[in-house]
Structure 1
Amino acid sequence: MGLQEYFAQLGRGVDLVAECSGLSAPDLEKMGASAQDAAELISLHTIYFGPTPYTGKQRSAVNAARRNGHTLSTLHHIESFTRRVKEQRAAWNLRVELCATPSEQVTAVARRRLRELRVPRTYCERAMLRQHPNGLATLTVTGNGLDMADAFRTIDQQHPGKSFIARMLGKAGPAARTRVTTMAVLKLEDYGTIMRREGDDVMVRTTSGAVTTGAQLVERACANEGLITIISRTHGPVDLYRCERFASTKQRTM
């Protein structure tokens, strides 16, 4: 058989596969096929002409492959994609579509469909440790995105392992954690007028006539944690308070 005839036979694609009906791989090897070629031909025959619950799709794939003149190599290429799909109906749908696709477009169409079929990966909190032969180990931790970002920023990229362990064991000082703080503005004239500054605070006469400190005024006016700035139209920014439960020195110590 000359090269021209050999390539012409390979170009017969599904028709060449159909001729394997009733033959086994050893039978093909006796005819001169290599063990690999024989196994691949029998595999293709099983797919395109063997028993299957999807006979309609099988017929459509064979007709489409014949119509497009797909060669044996194209059929092998198509199967390299369809075998990545575990669910059989989905695999047959992909096979039919690729058989109906011109050979030069098979790769692009297959990759696009495989991306669409890929189930999005789900993540959950977990920790994994992988030991390496050289004495090092890799710790992989999945957790809250903001917490992980804060932890990552504390790592010295020149010495990631040592700095991470030191931080985890509390040997590297306070963690560089990002904190979001609310800043609220309290307009003084809505509550009273400044009487005088006393120590680190201001004394305010409220609209009801009562005298109170700026801290007490803020504590009454705002219940949420955050930063409160008292601003006066006349005096501008007056003072800044952290809005939280005000504890005595002894209470803080306890």
Structure 2
Amino acid sequence: MSHLDTYAELQFAGIDLLEEADRYSRGELTERGISSREASRLLKLSRTFFSKARHPRKQRDAVEAARRRRHSVDTLEVIRNTARGVHKGAEVGMWDLMVEFCDYEGSYDEIKRRTKQRVLEINLRVPDRVEKARSRRTLHISATITAWGTRRFSGEAPAEDLDGFLPLIDERTRALRKADNKLTFEQAHYDAVKSLLTDGEDGEKLAPVDKTYTPLVVVSAEDAFEIIEGRGDDVLLAATDGTQMTGRDLINERLSDYTYFGLVDPVNGPINLYQGERFANFKQRALARAETILCAWDGCLTPADRCEIHHIDAVSQGGGTDLRWLTPLCGHHNGRNDDDPHAPPKNGRVERINGKIHYRPPDGEPVRHREPVARMGMMDVIDRSPRSPSPDPEP
């Protein structure tokens, strides 16, 4: 049997894979070579089908049907996500649909179309469906920047809302493509939305958003000399909003009137902040963000500027409020952090080890943030300096 045949055969054992994955932690799955993203997906699905449920009999029926129909993991994910879309108060509940959908026959695409149509028909009969649809409105803009220098954004809106302004967007899209036949439909669609946001519906120009930085410059003395001497193209810097730039970009385009300079200690971390002019408020927050650039939780890509300042050792556990106890964590990971280091680990916690911030998982050794931009913060800058003492070995 070829590798491709083995892969195809596994597609028919989706529920068995989820049942087996339910016995492991996320860390144990990644140790087997499964990506962290795929491990999270498998565990989320396995909890649906095998963790304690409010309707255990229906859960068992759904599992039996999924095994009988030999659905793939992808198909089971579609079934769960679509069934969860049924409105509260509908004539059929989520777990009734889970049992029904798991017993469907057909390919992934066929089941995806069929389940979507079924839930839509059910929701259309809910009296307050418009209000319920509106409660699901979202607009997600990614916190990270892609290698292309773009940000991804996606959203969901009530059909009635979109029907109100889509004709205007489509009209501008057609006009833009007529003026420039090299534009793809997707490019023209984006430009149409952007023009409506920046010009207004009646062509009135809105005030542009000021995108200059008031930065805390995380740069070594050697790199600063290169920038001053006009060789900044070769120096890559990181800002605490998660973006990266060259030294030339920083000088020519992005500096505001006020520049921060950070002082760093190789063992204790950031210790003070100085500013070229006027006040230096919130120096602890600024330095904490400059140390990690991103959320300090390994794998999180939220820029430090969008994070909360976390006490590494909680005040209730004897921690202080000076800089060595502070680090940025996004709201999600700040809530998940195991604050009590003496309690049984559940989600993991951030710690300062040998002067640097580490994430200690609940079932493994502490690690530093592996995202490249996170390794451009203050403590890494001094590591790269030839005058810096040899860094202590990682634990």
Q: TM-score band, normalised by the shorter chain?
A: 0.3 to 0.5
Bigger Rg over Cα = 1
TM-score by length of structure 2 reads 0.30
The answer to which structure has the higher strand fraction is 1
Q: TM-score, normalised by structure 1?
A: 0.46
